[in-house]
Amino acid sequence: MQDKSRDREDASVVALQGTEMTMGWSDLPADLVAVLADRTTDHADFACFRSVCPSWRSASAAHAARRRVPLLLLPAEYQLRVDLHLWSLADDSIAEIPLPAALGSFLFASPRGWALAVDQHFSAAVLHPFTGASAALPELPPSFRADITVRRDMVWDHSPQHTVVIARRSQTTKLLSCFFCRPGDGFWSAVECSEEIGQVSGITYFDGAFYLFDGETLRTVGVDSETFAAVAVIEPPTVTLVTPDERLRPWNRRKAESTLVVSSADDFLVIDRRHELGGPYGGSGEVVSIEAFRWDGRSWAAVDDIGDRAVFVDSSRGFCVEANGVNGVQRNCVYVATSNHHGRCTVSVLHLAGRTTERLSLGNLSQHRCGRFWQWPSWSMPNLHRSHPNKTKFELFI
């Protein structure tokens, strides 16, 4: 079967070579365009390919559906990053993309393809890994300059209007440290909602609002992306909080982690995970329970079925991906990416229906090593279309 498929592809390429030059690019047969799309493996090249004309976009739709799979931005091996590593869930491959050292050694992905880069001098920028486009941001506020763990535990998101919101998670203080920067501001402004939320452990932009999530209290505050006034306060679902057993050493205590997922204006999910840290140095642990709660605009309700979707979770946020039957994503699951203190990254699949945990056994991912204590891995959803060529670099993939 593979030989016959290859013969058909070769025949299509020969047909292309013999095509009259008077034929326009948009007139190419759909099956030939599909063959070319299948051979375009680079995400940036494929985005350009789909932007040529509507007929090419239509003919490559099946290939795009297969590639609607998140990529995992892996932490740097050393403090001074010289390249970027993106791991693909689809085929366990790791793409290495050279980056200027000036863009920083700490990188934080977002669901819309862009990443936040922070260097050792606390300068910041947003960049797109596939196009090389970047835009400088103001130097981080003074409260972000305490130690290395502040940069490691940063969370952020951005809006289509290019407004960026960042926050620092602190294990020792409950003081809110969340800031925003609009295009052209040249400075960071504090988000004034300290009465509604203790600390920010996750930031998610959706439909004109940034949702700030407190992972300890499970409370959510929505702030308008233009005025940054609080527009919604969502009280937490009923979850039994974990009380650490002080008789056990820290690496053996049960731990709870919660993540907010915003999939539509009236569909919020909170994924609550409980696990025990494994090994004497705090490994990634074995998940022992998982609960999902959905907010319908009025109240929370426990759910064990989120339909033909999967949730991808890292240390700061979660987002939904369609399990379309061809991209290899399992339905009604939560994909959790984490790393341990040995510098190993892992991905586990939590099945909501059976409350079971599956650790993915992947060769390239398991062999990748990152610097100890440096940074957590983060999911990114590659954008497979480009905007109008007159858009700015920052607008192309947002």
Residue 388 lies in a domain: no
SS3 202: strand
Looking at residue 177, its pLDDT comes to 80
Looking at residue 144, its pLDDT comes to 81
Backbone angles phi and psi of 66, in degrees to 5: -70, -25
Residue 321 lies in a domain: yes
Residue 119 lies in a domain: yes
Lowest mean per-residue pLDDT among 149-158, 203-212, 294-303: 149-158
Residues 261 and 224 in one domain: yes
Please give the span between the terminal C-alpha atoms of the chain, in angstroms, as a whole number. 40
Q: What is the pLDDT of residues 286-307, one digit of tens each?
A: 556 788 999 988 889 999 999 9
Residues 167 and 305 in one domain: yes
**Mean of the per-residue pLDDT values of the chain:** 76
Looking at residue 272, its pLDDT comes to 86
Residues 39 and 163 in one domain: no
Report residue 319's pLDDT band, with 50, 70 and 90 as the boundaries. Answer: very high
Residues 60 and 74 in one domain: no
Which residue, 64, 90, 116, sits at the end of a domain?
64
Given a cut of 80, is residue 212 above it in pLDDT? yes
| Long-range CB contacts (within 8 A, 24+) of 82-91 | 84/115, 84/129, 85/368, 86/129, 86/380, 87/345, 87/364, 87/365, 87/368, 87/377, 89/328, 89/329, 89/335, 89/347, 90/66, 90/327, 90/328
Residue 84 lies in a domain: yes
Given a cut of 90, is residue 335 above it in pLDDT? yes
Residues 34 and 81 in one domain: no
SS3 48: helix
Residues 239 and 325 in one domain: yes
Residues 59 and 104 in one domain: no
Report residue 205's pLDDT band, with 50, 70 and 90 as the boundaries. Answer: very high
Looking at residue 387, its pLDDT comes to 40
Looking at residue 170, its pLDDT comes to 63
Looking at residue 393, its pLDDT comes to 37
| Distances in whole angstroms, Cα of residue 6 to Cα of each of 38, 49, 242, 394 | 12, 21, 56, 39
| Distances in whole angstroms, Cα of residue 112 to Cα of each of 8, 108, 271, 384 | 36, 12, 21, 10
User: 92 versus 189: which is more confidently predicted?
Assistant: 189
The share of the chain scoring above pLDDT 70, in percent, equals 72
> Which of 97-106, 110-119, 253-262 is most confident?
110-119
Looking at residue 283, its pLDDT comes to 44
* Residue-number span of the structural domain to which 346 is assigned: 68-381
CA atoms of 283 and 279, how far apart (whole Å): 6
Residue 189 lies in a domain: yes
| Distances in whole angstroms, Cα of residue 274 to Cα of each of 157, 224, 249, 306, 383 | 26, 32, 17, 19, 32
User: 156 versus 316: which is more confidently predicted?
Assistant: 156
Given a cut of 90, is residue 308 above it in pLDDT? yes
Query: How many domains is the chain partitioned into structurally?
Result: 2
Three-state secondary structure readout of 113-139 = CCEEEECCCCCEEEECCCCCCEEEECC
Residues 146 and 16 in one domain: no
The answer to whether 47 and 385 are in contact (CB under 8 A) is yes
Dig out the tokens for 283 from the structure: 């490994």
- Cβ atoms within 10 A of the Cβ of 281, count? 11
The answer to whether 31 and 12 are in contact (CB under 8 A) is yes
Residue 264 lies in a domain: yes
> Which of 77-86, 168-177, 345-354 is most confident?
345-354
What is the bridge-based pairing of β-strands 209-214 and 286-295?
Answer: unpaired
Residue 390 lies in a domain: no
Looking at residue 12, its pLDDT comes to 52
Calculate helix-pair angle for 30-38, 43-50, nearest 10 degrees. 160
DSSP state, residue 140: P
Looking at residue 311, its pLDDT comes to 94
Which residue, 14, 41, 64, sits at the end of a domain?
64
Residues 72 and 97 in one domain: yes
Residues 17 and 72 in one domain: no
Residues 7 and 122 in one domain: no
pTM over 0.95: no
Residue 386 lies in a domain: no
Report residue 176's pLDDT band, with 50, 70 and 90 as the boundaries. Answer: low
Q: Look up the CATH number of the domain holding residue 317.
A: 2.120.10
Given a cut of 70, is residue 65 above it in pLDDT? yes
DSSP state, residue 101: G
> Which of 122-131, 145-154, 171-180, 290-299 is most confident?
290-299
Residues 340 and 207 in one domain: yes
Lowest mean per-residue pLDDT among 51-55, 71-75, 341-345, 371-375: 371-375
